[in-house]
Amino acid sequence: MRPPAPLSRDRDDVRLDCHVERFTQKEKTASQDSGATYRVTLSRSGAGYEVAQGKSILDTLLDAGVDVPHGCKQGICGACKTQIVRGEPDHRDSVLSASERTAGNVMMVCVSGCKSEELVLDI
């Protein structure tokens, strides 16, 4: 029996795909890492909430009775992806691409925070 042919970078008939899945968050959440409070305003209702030190945007909104889609609460599933109307997010998720982070138009509200005094979200 012949051994299988070794994989070579010179072969163009072989394609290696790599799939990555994360089962835990890769870095501290904004609420674990920041001592600052900030305001989150919902653009559709105009309602505003103070995000307390140690608390996530998602938990702040859920505690206030705002229905926000979510899943893992660890920044790895993408279920809480939210459009940003205004403000500077502090991205801490494992979902967004580098270009999405740079554009600053969306964020994962379960783990990410705010670098400005206020975030206005399309909720």
Q: Which residues contact ligand FES (rule: CB under 6 A)?
A: 70-73, 75-80, 93, 95, 108, 110
Of 13 and 20, which CB lies nearer to ligand FES in the complex structure?
20
Of 42 and 76, which CB lies nearer to ligand FES in the complex structure?
76
Q: How far is the CB of 84 from ligand FES (least distance, A)?
A: 14
Around 5, how many Cα atoms within 13 Å sit in the side-chain half-sphere? 7
Q: How far is the CB of 111 from ligand FES (least distance, A)?
A: 6
Among 34, 55, 48, 51, CA closest to 121: 48
Q: How far is the CB of 36 from ligand FES (least distance, A)?
A: 21
Of 10 and 77, which CB lies nearer to ligand FES in the complex structure?
77
Q: How far is the CB of 112 from ligand FES (least distance, A)?
A: 9
d(CA 78, CA 72): 8
Across the chain, the runs of DSSP E, i.e. the strands, are 38-42, 48-51, 81-86, 89-90, 106-108, 113-114, 118-121
Of 47 and 77, which CB lies nearer to ligand FES in the complex structure?
77
The helix (H) or strand (E) run that includes residue 31 is: helix 30-33
